[in-house]
């Protein structure tokens, strides 16, 4: 959410900032802008809309080897040229880019206005530029520090000063800021994706930390002016992981990358000797695991739905009560934290504000939180008391796909690990290990049906105003996730219900124009799911069944059928979720949607 990039070194900064913004555009695409410092002073270029709008108005030659760039997801103030970042003070000396929300901006702005300051935008960020310019301090880092002491809220900021062209100052509180270390050059970004083409050596800033970047290196200090010592981390993701690799969209690439991504999630984690899972990062010895009486999973959006599936898997395998809750709701209801409850925070980006805040709330009250996180070294991963890296690889498309699937596998591994300490027998453990290892190949088999699924999407879903998704038990969250994918990338309205709930209300809306995607695994609830299909058919509602092969009652009743391979029942949701991604993707393409950057959304929601 909002992309930040900055550079100081020997090279022209303009092209580096623009290529960084291209990488970061998925974090926000309401407007973009850059500020460059050169002998000619401080120059700002910005434009409403996607990055292409900014590219159009940039001069051919961009002077300056120091600069900052921003791509915006609007919070304060509508998308417009004036509200685009960078923001400057009145004299045009200071330029600031910002990700986050300054909560006391209205009060600060009123105070500055009464001191004679004039504002050009509606943003909270402009207040920062004025505060920094108005500081009585000399060095830019001290000006920034003084300004930030007056601020309440969250920020990842980068600041340049026309009169101090030897430095770039950045700071963080609640929004990610990552330094990239080069050869006599330094970079900063809100996301490693913008750094990998320049360097593998990175440093994650912590909250209330400021960094001063100079050509020869960096130093860090706290808001209380204490120096800090930061150790660089080497990142493994290469630039190639951020390319489309011949696919039309990142989303399609990421859907098709799932077999390999799942292999990575499983790699080195299946212990064949004891038919269990080996999870090195848990940092929880079996004796402590035995003390766990309940598990609560916290996440947002698709990560929350993954948590719901995970809760079902873990409870089924371990008989330890487990549920999932949206992180923001949990946090604000003053939750009771108990010693024998284990909390798990699930997040692709590892930067989602609400998930991070929920984890911090648990820890503040003495609870233990394990992370199920994709982005290595991210804030949530560092905040948690241990965890499982999902290893899905970088996810660029705004809608989550491969991380969703890999998170399910991470939960299954955890369920297996805990289950084998408790009730799961060696034989059951062996079956689960076999089933987990077979999943990547089974996902390939589902992906091979992409053309047939495309036809179903176009024929039955893309041109309707609304669709229902139904499932039961572990498949209900898969229905929720399928409906979410359909809504967010195709803008076709989709609602998910537990199949059993249809007759309690939603059935009133079923008609020949309202198709239902029904998840019907061959499990204990098969007969019940078939009854739901009958209820829909009786109202002449079209049914798209996502199911297993071999039951003619389904093929006879459904208008379209997608079959996935059978696995252990507890893992069925993994395979049943893949066709739903493809249905949403193909519907979105048929409708000409911006699949990778759907309207109003951005990846990594780092604001509340
Ligand atoms: C939907 C989607 C979002 C994210 C949610 C949490 O496709 O991607 O709902 O799942 O914003 O993000 P992370 O997983 O980064 O915490």
Nearest-angstrom CA–CA distance, 360 and 356: 6
592: CA distance to ligand 1 center in Å? Answer: 23
Which of 11, 24, 41, 21 has the alpha carbon at shortest distance from 160? 41
Residue 438: CB atoms within 10 Å:
14
Is 322 labeled as catalytic in the residue annotation? no
The confidence score (pLDDT) of residue 327 equals 97
Nearest-angstrom CA–CA distance, 323 and 321: 7
- Cβ of residue 32 lying under 6 Å from some atom of ligand 1: no
| Long-range contact set of residues 44-51: C-beta below 8 Å, sequence gap at least 24 | 44/86, 44/88, 44/95, 46/81, 46/84, 46/85, 46/86, 47/81, 47/84, 48/79, 48/80, 48/81, 48/83, 48/84, 49/79, 50/25, 50/597, 51/18, 51/21, 51/22, 51/25
204: CA distance to ligand 1 center in Å? Answer: 21
**In the chain, pLDDT over 70 holds for what percent of residues?**
100
- Cβ of residue 301 lying under 6 Å from some atom of ligand 1: yes
Summarize pLDDT for 390-436 with one digit per residue, the tens. Answer: 999 999 899 999 999 999 999 999 999 999 999 899 999 999 999 99
- Cβ of residue 347 lying under 6 Å from some atom of ligand 1: yes
The confidence score (pLDDT) of residue 598 equals 87
Is the domain covering 449-593 a CATH 3.40.50.10490 domain?
yes
Domains 3-242 and 449-593 share a fold: no
Report the chain's mean pLDDT, rounded to a whole number.
95
pTM over 0.85: yes
The pair of structure tokens assigned to 1 is 């959410």
Is 2 labeled as catalytic in the residue annotation? yes
Residue 106, C-beta contacts closer than 8 angstroms, at least 6 positions apart: none
Summarize pLDDT for 160-183 with one digit per residue, the tens. Answer: 999 999 999 999 998 999 999 999
Highest average pLDDT, of 28-32, 506-510, 592-596, comes from 592-596
Domain positions in the chain? 3-242, 244-443, 449-593
Summarize pLDDT for 17-46 with one digit per residue, the tens. Answer: 999 999 898 877 889 999 999 999 999 999
The SS3 call for residue 47 is strand
Give domain 244-443's CATH number out of 1.10.10.10, 1.10.287.130, 1.20.1050.10, 3.40.50.10490: 3.40.50.10490
Please determine, for residue 75, whether its predicted confidence score (pLDDT) is greater than 80: no
Give domain 3-242's CATH number out of 3.60.20.10, 3.40.190.10, 3.40.50.2300, 3.30.360.10: 3.60.20.10
Highest average pLDDT, of 56-60, 235-239, 430-434, comes from 430-434
Summarize pLDDT for 355-395 with one digit per residue, the tens. Answer: 999 999 999 999 999 999 999 989 999 999 999 999 999 99
352: CA distance to ligand 1 center in Å? Answer: 8
């Amino acid at each position: 959410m909002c992309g930040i990039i900055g550079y100081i070194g020997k090279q022209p900064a303009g092209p580096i900032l623009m290529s960084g913004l291209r990488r970061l555009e998925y974090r926000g695409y309401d407007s973009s802008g850059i500020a460059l410092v050169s002998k000619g002073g401080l120059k700002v270029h910005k434009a409403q809309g996607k990055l292409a709008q900014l590219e159009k108005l940039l001069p051919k030659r961009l002077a300056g080897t120091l600069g900052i760039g921003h791509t915006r997801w609007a919070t304060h103030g509508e998308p417009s040229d004036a509200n685009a970042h960078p923001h400057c003070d009145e004299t045009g000396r200071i330029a600031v880019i910002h990700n986050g929300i300054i909560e006391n901006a209205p009060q600060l702005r009123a105070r500055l206005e009464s001191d004679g300051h004039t504002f050009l935008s509606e943003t909270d960020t402009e207040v920062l530029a004025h505060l920094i310019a108005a500081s009585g301090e000399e060095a830019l880092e001290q000006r920034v520090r003084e300004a930030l002491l007056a601020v309440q809220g969250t920020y990842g900021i980068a600041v340049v000063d026309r009169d101090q062209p030897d430095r770039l100052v950045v700071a963080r509180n609640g929004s990610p800021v990552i330094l990239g270390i080069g050869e006599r050059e330094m970079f900063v970004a809100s996301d490693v994706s913008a750094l990998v083409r320049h360097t593998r050596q990175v440093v994650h800033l912590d909250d209330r930390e400021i960094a001063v970047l100079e050509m020869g290196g960096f130093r860090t200090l706290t808001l209380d002016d204490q120096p800090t010592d930061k150790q660089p981390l080497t990142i493994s993701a290469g630039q190639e992981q951020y390319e489309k690799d011949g696919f039309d969209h990142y989303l399609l690439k990421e859907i098709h990358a799932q077999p390999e991504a799942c292999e990575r999630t499983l790699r080195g984690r299946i212990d064949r000797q004891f038919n269990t899972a080996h999870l090195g990062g848990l940092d929880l010895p079996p004796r402590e695991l035995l003390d766990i009486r309940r598990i609560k999973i916290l996440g947002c959006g698709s990560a929350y739905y993954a948590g719901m599936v995970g809760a079902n898997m873990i409870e089924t395998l371990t008989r330890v009560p487990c549920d999932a809750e949206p992180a923001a709701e949990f946090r604000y209801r003053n939750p009771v934290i108990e010693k024998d409850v284990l909390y798990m925070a699930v997040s692709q980006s590892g930067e989602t504000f609400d998930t991070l805040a929920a984890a911090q709330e648990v820890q503040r009250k003495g609870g233990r939180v394990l992370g199920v996180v994709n982005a290595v070294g991210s804030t949530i991963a560092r905040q948690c008391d241990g965890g499982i890296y999902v290893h899905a690889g970088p996810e660029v498309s705004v809608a989550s796909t491969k991380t969703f699937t890999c998170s399910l596998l991470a939960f299954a591994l955890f369920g297996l690990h805990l289950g084998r300490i408790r009730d799961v027998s060696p034989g059951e453990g062996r079956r689960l290990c076999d089933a987990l290892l077979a999943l990547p190949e089974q996902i390939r088999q589902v992906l091979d049906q992409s053309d047939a699924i495309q036809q179903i999407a176009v024929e039955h879903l893309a041109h309707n105003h609304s669709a229902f998704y139904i499932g039961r038990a572990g498949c209900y969250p898969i229905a929720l996730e399928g409906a979410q994918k359909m809504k967010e990338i195709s803008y076709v309205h989709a609602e998910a219900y537990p199949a059993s709930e249809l007759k309690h209300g939603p059935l009133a809306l079923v008609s020949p124009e309202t198709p239902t995607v029904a998840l019907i695994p061959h499990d204990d609830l098969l007969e019940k799911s078939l009854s739901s299909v009958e209820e829909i058919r009786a109202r002449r509602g079209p049914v798209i069944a996502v199911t297993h092969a071999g039951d003619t009652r389904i093929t006879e009743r459904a208008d379209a059928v997608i079959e996935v391979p059978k696995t252990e029942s507890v893992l069925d949701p993994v395979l049943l979720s893949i066709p739903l991604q493809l249905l949403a993707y193909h519907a979105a393409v048929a409708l000409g949607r911006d699949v990778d950057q759907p309207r109003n959304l951005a990846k990594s929601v780092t604001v509340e």
